[in-house]
Every structure is written in C-alpha cells, then in structure tokens.
Chains A and B, each alone.
Chain A
Amino acid sequence: MSVKNILIVGVGGQGTLLASKIMGRVYLEQGYDVKVSEIHGMSQRGGSVVTYVRYGDKVWSPVIEKGEADIVISFEELESARWLPYLKPDGVLISSTQRLDPSPVIMGKAEYPENILGKISALGIKVIPLPADRLAAEAGNIKSANIVLLGAAARRQDIPKDVWIEAIRASVPPKTLETNLRAFELGYAE
C-alpha cells in the first residue's frame, strides 16, 4: 500500500502525543511500516505543536511536507489555518472548533480571526468541524478531546473499530479508560 500521511496539530498540552501514539500502535498492529514524529521541548510550552504519522508498506521519511497529508487532525481552529498547506488539496481536515488565543491576541495586538473553517471550506477543502471539547466534557472529561478527534479520524479509515478500541485500552491509564472509550464513540459517531 502506498504511504498514508496523517498530521496531528494543536497547542502544546492538548494531548496530541497520546493520539499519535494510539494511531501508531493501530497501524503497526495491522502489519504496516510506521513512523511517528514528535516535537518535544521548548515549543511544547503553549506553542503550536505538530505530530506526523505515516504508514504503508515502507515508510522512509518521518515527516510530512506541504501538500502531502491525506488527513489533518486539528485540535484548534487557528492551528487548522496554520497547517492547512500540509493537506493534499483532496485531503480531509478534521478540526475541533475549539479556539485558544495565541499570545498576540492575549496581549490585544491582534484579533482572533473569524470563520476560519468556513474560509477553508470555501477553498474547496473537505472540512469536518467537531465540537471536540463539548463532546469530551459529555464523555466525562474535557481533556479527552484528543480521543474524540481520534474517533472521528478512525471512522474515515479502513480499519475495524475494535482494533482502535483495543489500542486505546492498551495506551491510556486504566482509571481514564471508560471516559476515553465514551469519547472515542462520540467522535466516531461524527
């Protein structure tokens, strides 16, 4: 199979790493070659963060470049705008509708842009907006928004649902398992 590219983007501290870890486990389980690339360190402190997930028969590079991603999973609207160029023109953007002010907005130097997802749609990009933080709260913990988004991405791939559920079971602390499984189901239904 040719290589599939999934970009997971968000703001440091939103739980992008857990989502990519679960995805990596699923693809490896399915017998694919996998590379998952993360960024640690300074940019994690409330900065824009990205994780690259690639799988297929043979994966060489650990990174995804502009115009290469089949799916962009975004945890935040402004980050959807930032990483949009990495999506293939016929790819899918799964975006949380959560908005986190970057420091220029906090300081009052800039306004948070309006209608980002609408503008992206208008470019002919397939956008799936998701109230991931609301659904996560519904599942029992707002911090499970990452698993809600994972659920929405899982439904758009040819891998059985129970494989995803097994990978979540193996990746999250037991006491958060029930919440995370509810979050996954809510995302999967979207």
Chain B
Amino acid sequence: MSKTLLLGNEGVAQGLYEAGVRFVSSYPGTPSTEITEAAVKHDEIYCEWAPNEKVAFEAAFGASLGGARSFCAMKHVGLNVAADPLYTASYIGVNAGLVCAVADDPGLHSSQNEQDSRRHAVASKVPMLEPCDSEECRDFAVLAYKLSETFDTPVLLRLSTRISHSRSPVGLNERREIPLKDYEKNVSKNVMMPSQAKAAHKKVEERLLKLREYAETSGINRIEWGGRDIGIIAAGSSYVYAKEALGDGVSYLKLGMVNPLPIELIREFAAGVKKVVVVEELDDIIEAHCRRYGINAVGKELFPFTGEFSQATVRSAILGIEPPYRELEDGALPRPPMLCAGCPHRGLFYALRGLKLYVSGDIGCYTLGANAPLSSIDSVLCMGASVSGLHGFNTARGKEQAKKSVAVIGDSTFVHSGITGLIDISYNQGLSTVIVLDNSITGMTGHQNNPANGLTIKGDPTAAVDLEALARAVGYRRVAVVDPYDVETTRKTVIEELEAEEPSLIISRRPCALLKYVKHSTALSVDAEKCVGCGSCLNVGCPALSRKDKKALIDPEQCLGCGICASACRFGAIVKEGK
C-alpha cells in the first residue's frame, strides 16, 4: 500500500476520519492545532473552534452523550482549563466514544511551562495512549475509540511536540461509518450528584483494574528482546530516541498505554534483563510506578526532569559517547523571536513604552512585547490572567496604582478567559484599564479564526462577539477604540483612560499584518540627510530596520509601511519612498 507523509497531528486526524468520528471541538494550542485543521478537511466530520478548552471538552462530551463519536484537542496547559469536565466525565463515562488529545511541549518550544499531562490521566483515572510516530498516531486514535466504548470512559491521547510536528509515512485506510447511537435518559449514570457520584467512583476504580489487565495482556505494551544487559522501558518520543541510540543492543518494553501501567509485564521484562532503565521525558511516572511495585529501575539518576530528549541524551547517558563536531570559537549571536514587520502590536507597545506602567501580560504573539527593545510587559501567567491578575495587583496596591497599570490581552485570549476577569473588575468596583489587542485572528498558533472575528473554522461568515457591547454589558461605561499604527492617539487615549475614576476597556484594533486580505502601504525609507543616527527608531524593534554606516536603514523587502518607526523619529527622517 502506498504511504503518505503526515504530521503526527495529521495522523491523529486521519484516525478520527477512519474511526467514524462525527464531532470535533478544539481550541488552538501549539503543538496540537493541526489535528483539528486536518480534521476539518473531511466533510464527514463536524469541526469547530471553541472559545476555550473547557468548552471544547464539554461540547465533545455532549456530542458523545448524544451518540456521536467525538473528539477534542488541546495543548498541555489547555487540559488544565478542561480538567474540570475531564475529571467528572471520567465518572460518567461515554455513550459513543470520547477521545481528548493533549500535546505536551518538553523543551518549551512554544509554551509557558513544561508540565507532564500524564499526571492528569493518573489523577482523573482515565486511560492514556501515547503514540511514537504518525502511523501510531492514526492507529492509536482508532484504538482509543474502541477502548472508550468498551471500558465506558473518555480516553486521553498524549502527544508531544516531536510526535505532533514530525512527518512520517502513514498508509491511509477507508472511513468506517458509525451510525449515531441512540440516546437514552439515564439519571443514575449521567447526572453527577453525590449519591450517583459515590457509586460512579467505585465503578471508576473497578474500570482501572480492568484497564490494567488490558495493559498487561493486549499487546499495546510489548517486549522486544535484544541484548539482555540493559532493558529500556519507554513510550512515545523517548522510545524512538532510545531505538535510535541503542538499536538492538538492548531490550525494550515499549509502552503504548501510559495509564494505567502494567505491573506483571514490567516484572517479566525486568526478570529478563540485568538492569532496567526508564527513559521518560519530564516526570518520573514510570520509574516511580516500578519502585512502588518493588521493581528495581533507574531513570532520573541518568536523565533530567527538564527539557526535551533526543538520541544524544540517551547515547550520552547510557553509552557515554558523543560524536565529534566542529564549531566556531565565538559561537553565534542569539536570534530571539520578535514581532513581525508591520505587526500592529508593536504600535501599542511603543505607545506604552514611555508611560512607565505596570503591564499585566497574557499569552499570544504579543507576549513578545516583553522582549527588548519594547520591554513593555511585567508579568505573564496563563491565558486570561492579565485581566484578573491586574485586578488583584491594583486592589492590593490601592487606587493610585490603577492609574499606572494596564492589562494587555489578544482578542482570542480575551474570549478564551479574559471576559470573566473583566466581570471581576466591574463587579468588584475596580478601576483597572484593560487593553484588548484585537488583530482579528488567533495569531501565534498560525491564524485560526475565533469568535471575535466573525468567521467559522471553515471561513464562513458567522456572528462575531461585539467587544464594545460586551464590555458595556458587563458594566464598563468607558470603551475606546484606537488604531495602534497611530501611536500618538493611542498613547493619548491610554493616558486619558488611566486618569478616569472608573474602569476602561481600550480596543487596539488592526488586523494581523500577515493576513492575506490586509493591504499594506509602500515601504518607507530613510532620508540620509535628515537621519542623525540617534537610533530612536531601532527602539521599536522592527526586523525591517537596521543601522548601516551610522544611519538607520529600512529593508524595502520587509517593510510594510506601517509608519510606527516614523513616529519614533524626531527628525522626520523616515519617509514614504519617492517623497
């Protein structure tokens, strides 16, 4: 059969298609986003972007109860948001199969923490599968539906950046159409009040025992005998790193199911090798499990709790070797990510820069406003926390502080979980000023539509959240809209709203410069006669600007003519080309 190169995420989507899934609801989050973007290409699957992961999980749960095989995807921190429905969905179980993919990010390629989502599987007592390449992503997605329906449980599918974002060959199969299941009212199963939940918890414990039996015997966890001096226990990316580094020189217990873990199978494996080594990125979950059952295993003595592994990590920890390589004596200058040329966020941050404010930040492209030279953000915690965190900060420090601080939050993040913070401010008589950076798209994850831009996941027109009306509805009387390319007006507006003795919402509105429909002005250029080489324009931190021969220089290939740098120039030296 001919195979196609698919991302791990596309492999999962292919599995959803083959398994007859009908309903997908997700919130974008690197590295999980492409699952839903690939699923939506199949007309047989209803797909949507939800406002956040909790809503996505609950919608998928509802669809499962309604009889459709259903799915949601999120990044590791997204599962924290969806943890509430997950833990009780574990008690209720499913009607049609319910699977949630969660993508971890060891090495923090695009995240604010490095948490290990296997902990959620253990704590919520649901099975978790972990594939090691794109073909297994497909296979495990299909298998997850079988397990979900056989064991009456939601199933977690754990991915990681390397598995999600690596392409490997997948043989494509046909879709198996699964008819919608009947819905039957069943209060003792589907309504979780204390009396029902007590009984349900007992069932969950019994289910875990049955799942453990499955983990022991089904073949999803398998022993590959090789050299007997060392036996490696690993799953997912750690397994392929170990195979790459150690080949057939050692034996493997390859785990496909990471919760619950087998006991007897591990004992059998351990008895067949001289030394058991657990290779697992992030936490020591498998290793601690071995110890708990008296199986001698080493893991974190050899491997770190932090960062992403590779074959080099395994090779150096177990064999103590490293291939030779050459490098330049002075290495290479760092190249940190920065806001794109023409990014509207730059104008807003440049307007804030001179005001010496406390800026409560949030999660998105605009988090880069924390980096030099804009250096405009004081704190970033999690999605939505800019707004609620600002309320706490200002309340703790008193009324005057509210005149010296703002929150900045993107449109998608605001809908995700900023609205509740806004209500917290107005309800509790706070004075905080919140700035929504409305660029009409979910940017950092690669341009997904969202409830505020009036387009569905398929790009069809739909109702858009009216941010101005929403702010008024929750009690904000002061709502201002500014264009961040107009730095002066933006700065003036921020000053005005900070002075007001009531809370304000400022909407800094301009679409992302990378959106295809956005028309740009012609590139700007530097009038060398007027440029004194002071470098003020370089403080806007634009990739199109540099300094050459003590004068500013604009790269016409990159410049989108936004004019933010021109507003930083006191000498009028930055001008439209040809003027």
State the CA gap A61–B162 with chains docked (Å).
9
The minimal Cβ–Cβ distance linking B546 to chain A, given in whole angstroms, is: 5
Q: Tell me which residues from 320 to 362 in chain B have a Cβ below 8 Å from any Cβ of chain A.
A: 322-328, 330-340
State the CA gap A46–B153 with chains docked (Å).
43
Q: Is A70 an interface residue (CB 8 A)?
A: no
State the CA gap A35–B169 with chains docked (Å).
8
Q: Is B311 an interface residue (CB 8 A)?
A: yes
Known contacts A35-B168, A47-B337, A110-B333; is-contact A40 B543 (Cβ 8 Å): no
Residue of A nearest to B323 (CB): A67
Q: Is B76 an interface residue (CB 8 A)?
A: no
A106-148 interface mask toward B, CB cutoff 8 Å, 1 = contact, 0 = none?
A: 1110101100100110011100000000000000001000000
Q: Give the number of chain B interface residues (Cβ < 8 Å).
A: 64
Q: Is A87 an interface residue (CB 8 A)?
A: yes
Residues of B within 8 Å of A112, CB to CB, are 333
Residues of B within 8 Å of A84, CB to CB, are 325-328
Residue of B nearest to A24 (CB): B5
With a 10 A CB-CB cut-off, give which of B7, B167, B338 has the most chain A CB atoms: B167
Q: Is A172 an interface residue (CB 8 A)?
A: no
Known contacts A11-B335, A81-B331, A104-B334; is-contact A41 B325 (Cβ 8 Å): no
> Are A41 and B110 in contact, CB atoms less than 8 angstroms apart?
yes
Q: Is B368 an interface residue (CB 8 A)?
A: yes
> Are A42 and B110 in contact, CB atoms less than 8 angstroms apart?
yes
> Are B445 and A46 in contact, CB atoms less than 8 angstroms apart?
no
Q: Is B226 an interface residue (CB 8 A)?
A: no
The minimal Cβ–Cβ distance linking B146 to chain A, given in whole angstroms, is: 27
State the CA gap A141–B372 with chains docked (Å).
33
Residues of A within 8 Å of B339, CB to CB, are 45-46
Q: Tell me which residues from 519 to 557 in chain B have a Cβ below 8 Å from any Cβ of chain A.
A: 535, 538-539, 541-543, 545-547, 557
Q: Is A159 an interface residue (CB 8 A)?
A: no
> Are B322 and A106 in contact, CB atoms less than 8 angstroms apart?
no
> Are A108 and B337 in contact, CB atoms less than 8 angstroms apart?
no
State the CA gap A12–B340 with chains docked (Å).
10
Known contacts A87-B325, A89-B326; is-contact A47 B243 (Cβ 8 Å): no
Known contacts A38-B166, A106-B545; is-contact A86 B325 (Cβ 8 Å): yes
Majority secondary structure, B binding face: loop
Residues of A within 8 Å of B162, CB to CB, are 37, 62-63
State the CA gap A83–B168 with chains docked (Å).
24
Residue of B nearest to A42 (CB): B110
A84-102 interface mask toward B, CB cutoff 8 Å, 1 = contact, 0 = none?
A: 1111110000000000111
Q: Which of B3, B161, B326, B337 contacts A85 (CB 8 A)?
A: B326
> Are B333 and A88 in contact, CB atoms less than 8 angstroms apart?
no
Q: Is B198 an interface residue (CB 8 A)?
A: no
Residues of B within 8 Å of A61, CB to CB, are 240-241, 243-245, 310-311
Known contacts A38-B166, A42-B110, A67-B322; is-contact A102 B337 (Cβ 8 Å): no
Q: Is B165 an interface residue (CB 8 A)?
A: yes
Known contacts A65-B311, A104-B334; is-contact A36 B167 (Cβ 8 Å): yes
Q: Tell me which residues from 166 to 184 in chain B have a Cβ below 8 Å from any Cβ of chain A.
A: 166-169
Q: Is A19 an interface residue (CB 8 A)?
A: no
State the CA gap A108–B548 with chains docked (Å).
10
Q: Is B31 an interface residue (CB 8 A)?
A: yes
Residues of A within 8 Å of B570, CB to CB, are none
Residues of B within 8 Å of A124, CB to CB, are 326
> Are B326 and A103 in contact, CB atoms less than 8 angstroms apart?
no
Q: Is B30 an interface residue (CB 8 A)?
A: yes
Residues of B within 8 Å of A110, CB to CB, are 333
With a 10 A CB-CB cut-off, give which of A34, A35, A81, A84 has the most chain B CB atoms: A35
Residue of B nearest to A61 (CB): B244
Q: Is B395 an interface residue (CB 8 A)?
A: no
Known contacts A12-B337, A42-B337, A65-B310; is-contact A37 B165 (Cβ 8 Å): yes
The minimal Cβ–Cβ distance linking B543 to chain A, given in whole angstroms, is: 5
> Are A40 and B332 in contact, CB atoms less than 8 angstroms apart?
no
> Are A62 and B166 in contact, CB atoms less than 8 angstroms apart?
yes
Q: Which of B109, B325, B365, B541 contacts A39 (CB 8 A)?
A: B109
Q: Is B371 an interface residue (CB 8 A)?
A: yes
Q: Tell me which residues from 24 to 75 in chain A have a Cβ below 8 Å from any Cβ of chain B.
A: 24-25, 28, 33-48, 59-63, 65-68
Residues of B within 8 Å of A48, CB to CB, are 335
The minimal Cβ–Cβ distance linking A112 to chain B, given in whole angstroms, is: 8
State the CA gap A103–B535 with chains docked (Å).
13
Q: Is A82 an interface residue (CB 8 A)?
A: yes
Q: Is B312 an interface residue (CB 8 A)?
A: yes
> Are B326 and A46 in contact, CB atoms less than 8 angstroms apart?
no
The minimal Cβ–Cβ distance linking B332 to chain A, given in whole angstroms, is: 4
> Are A116 and B243 in contact, CB atoms less than 8 angstroms apart?
no
> Are B365 and A35 in contact, CB atoms less than 8 angstroms apart?
no
> Are B325 and A89 in contact, CB atoms less than 8 angstroms apart?
yes
Residues of A within 8 Å of B168, CB to CB, are 33-36, 59, 62
9 closest residue pairs by CB, A with B: A41-B110, A67-B323, A47-B337, A62-B166, A41-B30, A67-B325, A82-B332, A61-B244, A102-B335
Known: A61-B241, A107-B535. 11 other contacts (CB 8 A): A25-B5, A33-B169, A38-B166, A38-B167, A41-B31, A42-B30, A63-B162, A84-B326, A84-B328, A103-B373, A106-B541
